[in-house]
Amino acid sequence: MNKAIFLDKDGTVIKDVPYNVDPDKITLLPGTAAGLQQLQLAGYLLIMVTNQAGVARGYFTEAELPAVKNKLQELLKPLSILLDGFYYCPNHPEGTVAPYNISCDNRKPLPGMLLQAAQDHQIDLNASWMIGDILHDVEAGNRAGCRSILINNGGETQWLKDNEFREPEYICADLLEAAQYILSV
């Protein structure tokens, strides 16, 4: 079985530009490269899991998402970092575009994307981590059976800890600090 780091995209790995699919606006956040390098060298698979409600809301099409994945790979490849998986949920129950205007188990805070990735990549969820910048990320990781880290960069605006799954194991400033914590425990 493999161990993995599940990564939220916007506000965790890259600068959060709302509903962005323009590759020219995608930039890595400080600490991302060094943190991902350390985690990959330690044997973790790197799996992106991202809600992409812009599809359901009609801001962009699902066909535009591969360009986002390709830009991420392009930014990471010169640093010898490889994303082992890229999972996204285009759905939102308040969307305006059918068939994406639905609720589903893949949309974080539910763990569907993590569970699918675990099946696809033979991942031991108990040996894995979810890192994100909002409590929905934390909840998805905890519901999947992972340990979770919240990057507190101002992305979380609600701070609703209304169930036991919304409590991160650790809170930090960036992916480098998250990696250092993971590798120290």
Kindly indicate the confidence band of residue 82, based on its pLDDT and cuts at 50, 70 and 90: very high
pLDDT digits over 94-140, tens only? Answer: 999 999 999 999 999 999 999 999 999 999 999 999 999 999 999 99
Structure tokens that stand for 3 in this block = 């161990």
Contact 113, 104 (CB under 8 A): no
Tell me which of 10, 133, 137, 174 is the catalytic residue: 10
Which amino acid is present at 60? F
Say how far residue 67 (Cα) sits from the centre of its chain: 17
Annotated active-site residue 10? The verdict is yes
Could you tell me the CATH superfamily of domain 7-124? HAD superfamily/HAD-like (3.40.50.1000)
Sign of the Cα torsion 121, 126, 127, 131 reads positive
Annotated active-site residue 8? The verdict is yes
Say how far residue 96 (Cα) sits from the centre of its chain: 24
Structure confidence at residue 158 (pLDDT): 80
Rounded-to-integer distance, Cα 12 and Cα 32, Å? 8
Tell me which of 8, 133, 137, 174 is the catalytic residue: 8
Whether 177 has a pLDDT exceeding 80, the answer reads: yes
Rounded-to-integer distance, Cα 172 and Cα 50, Å? 20
Listed by start position, the domains of the chain span 7-124
